[in-house]
Structure 1
Amino acid sequence: MRCLNCGAEINNNLKISEMFLFRTKIPNYICDLCRSQLEPLEGQNNCPRCCKPNIGTICQDCLMWEKKYQIINCHQALFEYNQFIHSYFKLYKRYGDVLLARLFYQDIKRWSLKHSFDVVTYIPASPSHLQARGFDPVYELYKDIFNLKKLLVKADADKPQAQKNRLERLQTPQTFYPLPELEQIQRNQSILILDDIYTTGRTLMHSHDIFLRAGFSDISTFSLSR
């Protein structure tokens, strides 16, 4: 197998311990050289509520969301947003290389096996982005790992989040609407909302608010990068 990012050969052979313990091998689509450019968030001195790197305490964004929504942010992410992640999403989202959706399959799959939720949903693409790309990047990133339920629709914004500065992101109005399927879910079930990148948390807080207003209380969020 070759790395989906750079094309280098990847050794996916089972280790001796995995063979004797009858463990299922989780496919790996990223080579060691590319992986060495990632900055895992696990074990860092992150914000305990949103995984903001090297903050050492609850960050100002989380305190702001607590004040606005009267909730304790519960977000987890795998990797710090760095140049490698930036380049990855540029190829994946801007240039539409949908095969890159599986680059982090092993990492996300391992995280999913350690956490359990009753319902898993995701941040959907807006109609204009879906038409331009031809695929929904968040859905493609997670579809082979989670049993995804589409519960939200997203209206087109004035301009893409990637083109906004921090203040513009924070001031973005609500763009999500619930689908009728949301009414079929019991309110005591735990909800996980998936996104690709957590920057200020504005997008996920908007989606979180939809579930909060619908009567859910056990709501968590997750992203590949923070």
Structure 2
Amino acid sequence: MKCLFCGSDINKNLKINEIFSLNKINPNYICNLCRSQVIPLAGRNNCSRCFKPNSGRICDDCLIWEEKYHIINCHHALFEYNQFIHSYFKLYKRYGDVLLARLFYQDIMQWSSLHHFDVVTYIPASPSHLLERGFDPVYELYSEVFDLKKLLIKADADKPQAQKNRLERLQTPQTFSARPEIRTIPKDKSILILDDIYTTGRTLMYAREIFLAQNLHNVTTFSLSR
């Protein structure tokens, strides 16, 4: 098997217990060299609410969400946003290499095996982005791991989040609305909302508001990178 990012061969040396185990071995799509450029967030002194790297406390962003919007953030993420992650999303989203959706399959699968939610949904692409790319990047990133429910509708924004500075991101107006299916979810169910990158949290907070408006309060969010 070859690395989906750089094309190098991936040598998988199975351990004895893996050879004789009846458990499914999750495929690996990233080579050791590429993996060495990814910085995991687990086990570090991150913000306890959003996984912001090395904050050592509840970060300023999460305090803002609590003070201004009365939301106690509950977010998980796998990797720190760095140059490798930037290059990955550039190839995946901007240049449309949809096969890269599987690059971190093993990592996402491992996280999902440790966390259970009754309902899993995702941040959908806006109509213009879907037309431009030909695929929904967040859906493709997680569709082989989770049973995804389409519960949100996203309207076209004035310009992409990637082209906005921090202040512009925070001032982005609400672009989400609820699909009718959201009204059928029992109030006691746990909900996970998936996105690709968490920067200020504005996008996921707006998505969370849609569920809060339906009296669905047990909401957790997750992103590949933070």
Normalised-by-shorter TM-score class: over 0.9
User: Alpha-carbon deviations, 1:150-209, whole Å to 9, x = none?
Assistant: 000000000000000000000001000000010111111000000000000000000001
Cα contact 1:176–1:210 (8 A) shared by 2: yes
Aligned residues: 226
Shift of 1:13: 4.6
The separation in 2 between residues aligned to 1:134 and 1:9, in whole angstroms, is: 29
1:185 matched residue in structure 2: 185
1:24 matched residue in structure 2: 24
1:76 matched residue in structure 2: 76
SS at structure 2 position matched to 1:71 = coil
2:47 matched residue in structure 1: 47
Q: Which amino acid aligns with 1:143?
A: S
The separation in 2 between residues aligned to 1:193 and 1:77, in whole angstroms, is: 12
Cα contact 1:14–1:25 (8 A) shared by 2: no
1:121 matched residue in structure 2: 121
Q: Which amino acid aligns with 1:132?
A: E
Cα contact 1:45–1:53 (8 A) shared by 2: yes
1:148 aligns with 2:152: no
* Identity within the alignment, %: 73
1:209 aligns with 2:209: yes
User: Alpha-carbon deviations, 1:77-113, whole Å to 9, x = none?
Assistant: 0000000000000000000000000000000000000
2:170 matched residue in structure 1: 170
2:38 matched residue in structure 1: 38
Query: What residue ranges of structure 2 are gaps of 5+ in the alignment?
Result: none
Cα contact 1:188–1:218 (8 A) shared by 2: yes
Normalising by structure 1, report the TM-score. Answer: 0.98
SS at structure 1 position matched to 2:153 = strand
2:137 matched residue in structure 1: 137
Larger displacement relative to structure 2 (16-25 or 124-133): 16-25
Query: What residue ranges of structure 1 are gaps of 5+ in the alignment?
Result: none
Shift of 1:71: 2.3
SS at structure 1 position matched to 2:48 = coil
SS at structure 2 position matched to 1:194 = strand
SS at structure 1 position matched to 2:78 = strand
1:112 aligns with 2:90: no
Shift of 1:70: 1.6
The separation in 1 between residues aligned to 2:11 and 2:208, in whole angstroms, is: 40
SS at structure 2 position matched to 1:39 = coil
Normalising by structure 2, report the TM-score. Answer: 0.98
The separation in 2 between residues aligned to 1:114 and 1:69, in whole angstroms, is: 30
Q: Which amino acid aligns with 2:119?
A: V
Q: Which amino acid aligns with 1:105?
A: Y
Q: Aligned-pair RMSD on alpha carbons?
A: 0.9
Cα contact 1:51–1:77 (8 A) shared by 2: yes
Larger displacement relative to structure 2 (11-20 or 189-198): 11-20
Q: Which amino acid aligns with 2:154?
A: K
1:61 matched residue in structure 2: 61
The separation in 1 between residues aligned to 2:68 and 2:153, in whole angstroms, is: 23
The separation in 1 between residues aligned to 2:86 and 2:217, in whole angstroms, is: 33
Cα contact 1:12–1:27 (8 A) shared by 2: no
Q: Which amino acid aligns with 1:112?
A: S
